[in-house]
């Protein structure tokens, strides 16, 4: 279920960016077919969304440095200007730090869009080739995103902040900026220069900077603060009105884990997307290969309570 090369079609116009959908990609699906478009496109309906960094941060860099990098990564997307000339239609704010450290969505108690570093153990397959995983919980009947949690692999990885990036280093801002694209509802692009392309070369910081294709993809979903581009079955004209800005997570903001974690199947191939009113996990699984580091995608499904 590798998601290395995807194409996306919107109407009759072919684009290099691709949007994540509510339907898991079948094991038999070949990326050479183009973008997987079954299901409904994902989107945040609110005009603004918050994120929260776990209070422990990482010993690889200081908490202040990590928070600064994360803020800059989100700002890279939110300050983009859409091709129409309008500003990007989704604002971000930080509600950090929090004690919560578990990926979950609570259907009846407070939440947070968590960002957490995993230092002692990476709970997914192939720990040597995975840098991050973003989990998105959504409504399977509309594609509306309810929650997003980002995990960064810090188990011995040479995470780097600042310039220059060491030759064998992994630029934290590049990794997080890519993950924010998944947080927004974007999948992997076919433009090899794009932040959302499925590879990263160690020692570089290129993914910090959005390319036109990245901006086009984000603006296709969030053309302005008042509208969201959705699947035609959700709205006949393919557009829903955005909700007024309120960065409080669904069911309120919480700083702790609250309910026991849900029982989720852990896939073995490094990439996840879940549906059925459940979670869509889009990892930035970076594997050391000849061409750099490769992003992968795997699928799981659970029901939303």
Structure-block tokens of residue 46: 């609110």
- Which CATH architecture group holds 8-294? 3-Layer(aba) Sandwich (3.40)
How far is CA 264 from each of CA 161, 170, 280, rounded to the nearest angstrom?
Answer: 33, 29, 12
DSSP at 132: E
Cβ atoms 272, 133 nearer than 8 A? yes
294 neighbors 286 (Cβ within 8 angstroms): yes
Alpha carbon 236 to its chain's center: 27
Predicted pLDDT of residue 290? 16
C-alpha distances in angstroms, 16 versus 173, 272, 288?
Answer: 23, 21, 24
Task: Give pLDDT tens digits for 107-153.
Answer: 889 999 999 999 998 888 766 667 888 889 999 999 999 999 999 98
Q: Are 297 and 134 in contact (CB under 8 A)?
A: no
How many CB atoms are located within 10 Å of the residue 266 CB? 10
Q: Can you tell me the distance from the alpha carbon of 17 to that of 212, in angstroms, rounded to the nearest whole number?
A: 10
Q: Is the peptide bond before 164 cis (omega within 30 degrees of 0)?
A: yes
Predicted pLDDT at 55? 98
Residues 65-122: tens digit of each pLDDT = 999 999 999 999 999 999 989 999 999 999 999 999 999 999 889 999 999 999 998 8
**pLDDT reported for residue 35:** 78
Question: Taking the mean position of all CA atoms in its chain, how far away is CA 21?
Answer: 13
Residues paired with 138 in a beta bridge: 145
Which of helix, strand or coil describes residue 133? strand
The DSSP letter of residue 134 is: E
Low-confidence ranges of the chain (pLDDT < 70): 1-15, 25, 27, 29-34, 126-129, 259-305
CB 281 within 8 A of CB 298: yes
pLDDT of residue 25: 67
- pLDDT score, position 24: 78
CA distance 139 to 147: 10
Write down the pLDDT at residue 57: 97
- The residue whose two tokens read 């035609």 is 232
3-state secondary structure of 276: coil
Question: What does the pLDDT read at residue 31?
Answer: 54
- Looking at the chain, which runs of residues are DSSP E strands? 8-10, 13-15, 48-53, 91-94, 114-118, 132-138, 145-153, 159-160, 170-171, 199-200, 227-229, 239-241, 279-284, 287-289, 292-294
Give the separation between CA 103 and CA 32, rounded to whole angstroms: 32
Q: What is the pTM for the complete model shown?
A: 0.82
pLDDT of residue 152: 93
Could you give the CA distance from residue 229 to residue 101 in angstroms, rounded to a whole number?
32
């Amino acid at each position: 279920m590798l998601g290395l090369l995807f194409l996306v079609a919107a109407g009759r116009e072919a684009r290099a960016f691709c949007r994540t959908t509510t339907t898991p990609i079948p094991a038999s699906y070949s990326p050479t077919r183009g973008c997987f478009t079954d299901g409904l496109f994902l989107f945040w309906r609110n005009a603004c969304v918050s994120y929260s960094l776990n209070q422990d941060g990482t010993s690889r860099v200081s908490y202040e440095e990590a928070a600064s990098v994360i803020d800059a990564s989100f700002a890279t997307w939110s300050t983009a200007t859409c091709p129409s000339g309008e500003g990007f239609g989704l604002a971000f704010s930080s509600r950090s730090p929090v004690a919560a450290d578990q990926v979950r969505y609570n259907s009846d108690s407070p939440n947070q869009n968590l960002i957490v570093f995993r230092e002692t153990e990476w709970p997914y397959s192939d720990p040597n080739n995975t840098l991050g995983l973003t989990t998105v919980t959504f409504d399977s009947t509309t594609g509306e995103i309810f929650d997003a949690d980002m995990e960064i692999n810090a188990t011995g990885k040479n995470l780097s902040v600042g310039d220059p990036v060491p030759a064998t280093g992994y630029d934290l801002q590049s990794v997080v900026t890519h993950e924010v694209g998944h947080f927004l509802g974007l999948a992997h692009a076919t433009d090899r220069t794009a932040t959302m392309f499925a590879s990263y070369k160690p020692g570089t910081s290129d993914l910090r900077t959005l390319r036109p294709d990245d901006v086009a993809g984000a603006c296709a979903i969030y053309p302005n603060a008042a509208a969201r581009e959705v699947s035609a079955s959700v709205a006949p004209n393919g557009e829903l009105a955005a909700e007024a800005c309120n960065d409080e997570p669904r069911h309120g903001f919480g700083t702790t884990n609250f309910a026991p974690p849900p029982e989720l199947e852990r896939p073995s191939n490094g990439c996840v997307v879940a549906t059925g009113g459940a979670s869509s996990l889009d990892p930035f699984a970076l594997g050391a290969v000849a061409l750099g580091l490769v992003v992968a995608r795997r699928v799981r499904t659970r029901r939303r309570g």
